[in-house]
Structure 1
Amino acid sequence: MSDTETYDRISLEAARWLVSLEENPDDQRLKDDFEAWLSADPAHQQAWEATSGVYDLMGPLFENEYPSRAPKEYQVSRARHPVRRALWAIPLGLAASIALFVSAPDWYYRLTADYATSAARQTTIRLADGSEVSLAPHSAIDVAYRPEGAREIRLLRGEGFFRVAHDTARPFRVLGGSITVTDIGTEFDIRLSATTSSVAVKAGRVHVDGARAFSMDMGAGQRLDVGNRADVLQGREDVENVGAWATSGQLVLQDATFSEAMDRIGPYYGGKIFVADRSLNGGKVTGVYNLSAPEAALKAMADTQGATLRHITPWIIVISR
């Protein structure tokens, strides 16, 4: 086992200890077992310091949404107790999912979607009709061929770049969030975020339908962002940049907010990124970033805002000024 693999394993053990101790604060046997594990190897102590430190750093990120519910007798310092209870502000299920997310595969989409990708992994699928779909990391689609001949793809999450084998007798539709995109012989990109469904056309034309009877045709170089409340923003995008993540392994940003930049780079990093300073989110980011080196791209983005990266564990980065 390599040094990196050993460090990853011990860090995950530390995260599991932290969650167990949070769940069972009065279990003396658990505390004794934890103390034995902690003293068994200096590497355990180092991993515990790093992993419990995540909780100290992340607590302020959630304190407004989740008021503290810790009993006063548990609000003690690390000097008096081995467990830092800085995350009592976060519901236990959320704390557990943060601590253990690295070990949990995207099982839901793997079980329910026809095709799905995990963190830092992308793939290209050749469909039965000759069309191709490139899926970005953390993306999933369902594929259906309707009895009337229509080809239908549902983008369940993430981003997909579509190269459609045009067939006038068999429409090709992609359903993504609040929009439906129908091919008129084209290459196009669709991305879903928490608040927006976006489509950009690289070549050819598409027809887009949305809520409130929204309907329009789009050609090469056009992009469209449709919010969950049916607000619509039309714009232009250099055709060379459309789907660049799939065609050239590059992320191209033009006046993106720092928050959006984090959303875009996040799936390509094999862990989790936390922005500890919320004032960073509104800053603007412009540049071309190599997706094969996501940490370098992340550092370059942070540098534009005068921010720094801190590795808390092998799979968590915290960004602050």
Structure 2
Amino acid sequence: MPKEIRDAASHWVAMRDAGTMTARDECDLATWLAADPLHARAFAEAEAFWGTMSGAQVKAALHDRYGRTTVPRGLRPGAWLSSQWARPALAASLVLILVGSAQDWPTRIRADAVTETGERRDVSLDDGSMVQLNTGSAIAIDYTGNRRVIRLLKGEAAFTVAPDRTRPFTVRSGEGSTTALGTRFIVRHDDESTNVTVTEHRVRVAWPTPYMATLDLDEGQATRYGPGGIEPAHRVDASAATAWTRGVLVFVDRPLGEVVAELNRYHPGIIRVIGADLAARRVSGGFRTDDPVGAIGTLQHTLGIRSTRITNRLIFLHS
């Protein structure tokens, strides 16, 4: 659907929700809806998405986005949400976000940088530090005079930290945090757990419950934390761990189910393995992150398995 139609539909939904529609506006809306079936469809979709949002969700998202940094008084939510134009503008913005990603809008509101499925993105920070976002990831940036905090809202990111002894560099993910004591590390957030891998120097991982626990990781070490606390450090292959930053996924003797789950992160569709025995078969190899469908073809040939495809968006692997 053309972007201009989606934008127009969002505008109309925002005006109606804000209660600013005049009799003339209602006539104009009716004329616009009747002019093209796509107009009515776009309006219905935008209205449905907007209707799924609660005031509490919007308030929480806005508080997280604006309450964590210093914002000029005129731009604070309390000052501008009540203005005549602010509510329609906010509504239109949120509707557009929802149309693009119905389930992901709270993350997008809070985020300063986002990647779509299959995308990687380099983000330069004000202090000279660098962040490389992996597929389907999002971060929020909170820099102040005495600290540098990045919140990993979802996904995975590699951090190259510029030294600054006066301002610690911390990545928060879930309930825990990782503070750089060196320069390069990777953080990945999956559901309730977070994985941390150090590729250069050292980091300190902290988990607050049931008591504040910390673990220092050296270069080539990794850990995971979550509801069960912080797991002991273990050695990893740093080259394999950072392969995604070069557009490659490397697997050494991993179950097919795990390999396919990783490929799914880069695929704008669904790939499934049918059967526990097949999912347990071991796989070694390297695959390009920009061609998960090609990787599936390679796996089929190597393992001698078959696939059923409902277009390349829905693929089932089976014996």
1:189-268 map, 5 Å: 189-210=186-207, 211=209, 212-230=211-229, 232-246=231-245, 248-268=246-266
Q: State the partner residue of 2:128.
A: 130
Give, as a single letter, the amino acid of the residue that structure 2 aligns with 1:235: H
Identity of aligned residues (%): 32
CA distance in 1 between partners of 2:160 and 2:188 (Å): 15
1:159-178 map, 5 Å: 159-178=156-175
CA distance in 2 between partners of 1:136 and 1:259 (Å): 21
Give, as a single letter, the amino acid of the residue that structure 2 aligns with 1:228: P
Q: How many angstroms does 1:150 deviate by?
A: 0.8
- Specify whether residues 216 and 233 from structure 1 end up closer, same or farther in structure 2 by C-alpha distance, changes over 3 A only: closer
Give, as a single letter, the amino acid of the residue that structure 2 aligns with 1:183: A
CA distance in 2 between partners of 1:231 and 1:300 (Å): 37
Q: How many angstroms does 1:231 deviate by?
A: 5.8
1:12-51 map, 5 Å: none
Q: State the partner residue of 2:181.
A: 184
SS in structure 1 of the partner of residue 310 of structure 2:
strand
Q: How many angstroms does 1:313 deviate by?
A: 2.6
Match of 1:299 among 297, 300, 312: 297
SS in structure 2 of the partner of residue 144 of structure 1:
strand
1:75-94 map, 5 Å: none
Q: TM-score, normalised by structure 1?
A: 0.61
CA distance in 2 between partners of 1:127 and 1:159 (Å): 17
CA distance in 1 between partners of 2:151 and 2:172 (Å): 5
Bigger drift between 165-174 and 213-222 goes to 213-222
1:82-121 map, 5 Å: 104=101, 106-121=104-119
- Specify whether residues 302 and 184 from structure 1 end up closer, same or farther in structure 2 by C-alpha distance, changes over 3 A only: farther
Are residue 157 (structure 1) and residue 154 (structure 2) matched? yes
CA distance in 1 between partners of 2:199 and 2:154 (Å): 21
- The answer to whether the Cα contact below 8 Å between 1:188 and 1:243 also exists between their aligned partners in 2 is no
CA distance in 2 between partners of 1:298 and 1:198 (Å): 26
CA distance in 2 between partners of 1:180 and 1:255 (Å): 31
- Specify whether residues 103 and 152 from structure 1 end up closer, same or farther in structure 2 by C-alpha distance, changes over 3 A only: closer
Q: How many angstroms does 1:214 deviate by?
A: 2.6
CA distance in 1 between partners of 2:152 and 2:314 (Å): 28
Give, as a single letter, the amino acid of the residue that structure 2 aligns with 1:308: R
Q: Which has the higher contact order (CA 8 A, sep 6+)?
A: 1
- The answer to whether the Cα contact below 8 Å between 1:109 and 1:116 also exists between their aligned partners in 2 is no
Q: How many angstroms does 1:191 deviate by?
A: 1.1
5+ residue gaps, structure 1, are 1-101
- Specify whether residues 177 and 260 from structure 1 end up closer, same or farther in structure 2 by C-alpha distance, changes over 3 A only: farther
5+ residue gaps, structure 2, are 1-98
CA distance in 2 between partners of 1:302 and 1:291 (Å): 17
Deviations 1:185-229 (CA, angstroms, capped at 9, x unpaired): 211111122353111111111111124433121111111123432
Q: Which runs of 4+ in 1 moved over 6 A?
A: none
Give, as a single letter, the amino acid of the residue that structure 1 aligns with 2:153: L
CA distance in 2 between partners of 1:142 and 1:198 (Å): 18
CA distance in 2 between partners of 1:227 and 1:286 (Å): 28
Deviations 1:165-189 (CA, angstroms, capped at 9, x unpaired): 1211110000123431100121111
- The answer to whether the Cα contact below 8 Å between 1:188 and 1:242 also exists between their aligned partners in 2 is no
- Specify whether residues 128 and 317 from structure 1 end up closer, same or farther in structure 2 by C-alpha distance, changes over 3 A only: same
**How many matched pairs?**
219
